[in-house]
Amino acid sequence: MTLSDLLGEPSPGRTAQLLEPRPERSELLDEYSKREIRRACLTAVAVPGYQVPFGSREMPVARGWGSGGLQVTLGVLGDDDTVKVIDQGEDAGVNAANLRRLIRDTTGVATTTDSREATVVQTRHRVPEDEMTDEQVLVLQVPVPEPLRGVERDMAELARMHAEADYSKMWVSLYEDVVRNGVITRTTGYPCLVGGRYVIATTPIPRWDVPKLHQSRHLSLFGAGREKRIYAVPPHTDVEPLTFDDVPFEVERTPGACCRLCGAGSPGQPESFLVEVPQLDGPSTWVCSDSDWCMRRRGIEPLSEPAFDDEPHDADEEGF
Amino acid sequence: MGYAAAKGGLDAIRAAEELVRRKRVAAPSPWLEVDQLLDRQRLAVDRVMGEGGLWAPELAARALRQAEGDVIEASHLVRSHRSTLPRFAYADAVDADEMTILRRIVPAFRNPPGPQLLGRTVDYTGRLLDPMPEDQAREAAAEAAVAVAEAPPEVAPDAVEPDPARRRPRRLYELLRDMDLMVDRRRDDDPEPADITRTPARPGAPRSALLATMARAETGALVQLWYRNILGPDRHLHEVTLGEVRHGELPVRVAHPTTGEAVTLGRIRATEVEAIEDLDGIDEEVDRFDVGYGLCMGHNERKAIAMANLDIAVHRDQGRGPLEQSVLQTTDGLDASGFLEHLKLPHYVTFRSMIERKQARRDVKAAMVRGDDADLGKDCR
């Protein structure tokens, strides 16, 4: 497909082509809609951090379940792409498995669980632990794209605040947080200034993942289906967490915690984002949230084309 | 523990799907035919079409069956089907006066111009659960079907040839306008209606976007928002009298791609309501009325009435309060239900981050109590 195919107006020949029955598989989006999404993505890349409105379509997954991420993924996918889908860092989660199945069955592209092989990674709540490359696109599912909603509800006022880069209410709220609590208590989706201009909600990715967006080699596309917005962090763009000179930005870290499967976080080992596994008869244990990264560290090679009837991440054995 | 890490996520999904399918498809009762739904669950089918935003009775009936009667789920099926279809043309705007009415009531006058046509309604029927035993009911239904087929009863107004003047009556607000009792809000620039499926409707959107949003909105959401204005904290409505409540048929026309002439593709049923508001605001023309408008696909009077009331309420509020944003952003059934239900998805990454911050807050507090030289908030204790 050429660029003019992507951007041009529909010609009669193209219309006729679209009218042709395509019995091989049923697509979730018509070509016009995909083009609209690609245009919104291009605008988003051109204006980093700006929330571009788009005519979000209804997807076969409910709004709030990744309908925005799915539209962006379908919009940017080409035939040669390889897709990975994770939810909470994991490939085998039910919603990730469902989205991966939908994408594979309706586009025919290859899928993988290996972060290094994927060209498009669709994710909910995490960024893979492996550093992504300039040949990869990260598509983040966004439940709440508006970073300022906690301090302002009126949409007209929000539009003004972004337009004038008036983030004073956000700064006041962070200041009050420090005064009242001694720390900034923002948890996930930490507000960040992109390219020195727009404040974005970093979806609910943990603070641990926020530095991975800063001056990254990969493109990050944020799709909010329910709220009908797409925004982007292009490669090599500043992503600065909002904080004060004398209040350091803190990522999630629990002293002494390490992955009980691969040992990440223990002395001499690399660190990863860990999730807690409460135990009935003792203190909590911890495991990596990025199951693919964790398995590779243990010498379990993932399958490039996952056979879904197999069990790529055997949870029973690991006691999840 | 947990579905997120469920062993072989896809296996679990497949098993769940099989359970649903087996219970619904392989139930021991006879297969539920689409025409049964169209004939006997008409209002549910209409609601799916209205909230799904697609006039396709058979598809809506299938969706309702597939969704086991869940109207929002069925609307979702219809809408995501819409997403797969390319859009080749926009229908021409149709004058609502072209509606051939099947039912029309005018609560504002005893004898309005044109008919008071009760039509197909249970408004004045006692809400008594029919106690007739099933086999008798089945027999009676079969007999009635034969009787209708043999001799259409005289009382069925749909069966007689409609008198054009009676079937397309003049609307009440025109009468009020003649009496110089209406605020004149007619505009002469006649803009094209906004397409909310292509351009997201945000506060400040044109009225057509507001109306289109409500036409696809979830019925219960509109009713609730209306009732908030009656009993709750929102007070944007004063005293509404309904001018028109209509249910009827409208043509759908598209300009022919080569000749450019309007071609009638078919007809849809719609419900139309005019809500006459008794203006009482200090900055309003209190010696006149104003009118709100409601129109939705299918037969759904509750929705059209709420819509017409909210239309005039948004106009009267003039963007001063949050009502317009509430209508535009919070009434879509798929948006609200989808987001509500997404709470069922795994959230253990975000939850871990929350626990970590709670502990961080405790640690800082403990350090302050001990009098450690905590940097944070030191001057602000």
Q: What is the pLDDT of residues B297-314, one digit of tens each?
A: 999 999 999 999 999 999
pTM over 0.80: yes
The percentage of chain B sitting over the pLDDT mark of 90, rounded to a whole number, equals 71
Q: Quick one: tokens of B89?
A: 């043309």
What burial class does residue A26 get, using C-beta atoms within 10 Å of its C-beta: 0-12 exposed, 13-18 middle, 19+ buried?
A: exposed
Name the nearest CA neighbour of A188 among B363, B347, B336, B3. B347
Chain A residues close to B11, C-beta within 8 Å: 309, 311
pLDDT at position B27? 85
Chain A residues close to B1, C-beta within 8 Å: 277, 320
- Mean pLDDT confidence for B236-255: 94
Determine contact, residues A102/A29, Cβ cutoff 8 Å.
no
pLDDT at position B150? 85
Distance in Å, alpha carbon of B378 to nearest chain A alpha carbon: 8
User: Lowest mean pLDDT: which of A248-252, A255-259, B45-49, B365-369?
Assistant: B365-369
Q: Provide, for chain A, the percentages of residues in helix, strand and coil under a 3-state DSSP scheme, each rounded to the nearest 5.
A: 30, 20, 55
Q: Do B4 and A316 touch (CB under 8 A)?
A: no
Q: Residue-wise over A156-181: b if at least 16 C-beta within 10 A, else e? A: eebeebbeeeebeebeebbeebbeeb
The answer to whether B13 contacts chain A (CB < 8 Å) is yes
Q: Is the predicted pLDDT of residue B152 greater than 80, yes or no?
A: no
Q: Is the predicted pLDDT of residue B123 greater than 80, yes or no?
A: yes
Distance between CA A56 and CA B338 in Å, rounded? Answer: 14
Chain B residues close to A280, C-beta within 8 Å: none
Q: Is the predicted pLDDT of residue B210 greater than 50, yes or no?
A: yes
Determine contact, residues A312/A305, Cβ cutoff 8 Å.
no
Interface of B with A in 298-357 (CB under 8 A): 319, 322, 325, 329, 334-335, 337-342, 345-350, 352-357
In the predicted model, what is the mean pLDDT of chain B? 89
- DSSP string over A10-61: PPHHHHHHHHS--TT---SS-HHHHHHHHHHHHHHHHSTT--EE--PPP-SS
Per this entry, what is the length of chain B?
Answer: 381
Question: Of A49, A75, A189, A265, which one is the catalytic site residue?
Answer: A49
Q: Is the predicted pLDDT of residue B203 greater than 80, yes or no?
A: yes
pLDDT at position B378? 46
ipTM computed for the complex = 0.86
pLDDT tier for residue B7 given thresholds of 50, 70 and 90: very low
Known catalytic residue: A108?
A: no
Q: Do A179 and B380 touch (CB under 8 A)?
A: yes
Give the range with max mean pLDDT: A133-137, B97-101, B202-206. Answer: A133-137
Taking only the tens place, the pLDDT of each residue in B333-343 is: 999 999 999 99
Q: Is the predicted pLDDT of residue B5 greater than 50, yes or no?
A: no
Determine contact, residues B172/B244, Cβ cutoff 8 Å.
yes
Determine contact, residues B242/B289, Cβ cutoff 8 Å.
no
Average pLDDT across each block of 10 residues of chain A; the chain has 320 residues. List them in order: 47 57 68 94 98 95 95 95 96 91 93 95 97 98 96 96 98 96 94 98 96 98 97 98 95 92 95 94 94 94 50 39
Using CA atoms, how far residue B13 sits from A90, A121, A208, B3, B9, in Å, is 16, 21, 30, 10, 6
- Mean pLDDT confidence for B2-10: 49
Q: Do A311 and B334 touch (CB under 8 A)?
A: no
Of the candidates B9, B87, B359, the beta carbon closest to that of A97 is on B9
Residue written as tokens 């009635």? B144
| Number of other CB atoms surrounding residue A8 within 10 Å | 11
For the sheet with B289-297, list strands across it.
Answer: B100-105, B240-255, B262-278, B289-297
Chain B residues close to A26, C-beta within 8 Å: 84
pLDDT at position A304? 46
Q: How far is CA A277 from the centre of its chain?
A: 24
Name the nearest CA neighbour of A191 among A234, A245, A241. A241
Q: Quick one: tokens of B122?
A: 């249970």
pLDDT at position B154? 59
Name the nearest CA neighbour of A223 among A104, A116, A67. A67
Distance between CA B109 and CA A204 in Å, rounded? Answer: 56
Farthest CA pair distance, chain B:
95
pLDDT at position B12? 84
Residue written as tokens 């071609």? B263
Taking only Cα atoms into account, the Rg of chain B, rounded to an integer number of angstroms, comes to 27
Output B288 or B235, whichever has higher pLDDT: B288
pLDDT at position B164? 67
Q: Do B84 and A320 touch (CB under 8 A)?
A: no
pLDDT at position B369? 85
Known catalytic residue: A49?
A: yes
Of the candidates A101, A126, A320, the beta carbon closest to that of B349 is on A126
pLDDT at position A176? 96
Chain B residues close to A92, C-beta within 8 Å: 5-9
Q: What are phi and psi of B208, to 5 degrees?
A: -60, -35
Interface of A with B in 25-54 (CB under 8 A): 26-33, 36, 53-54
pLDDT at position B2? 35
pLDDT at position A205? 97
Q: Residue-wise over A207-228: b if at least 16 C-beta within 10 A, else e? A: bbbbebbeebebbbbbbbbbbb
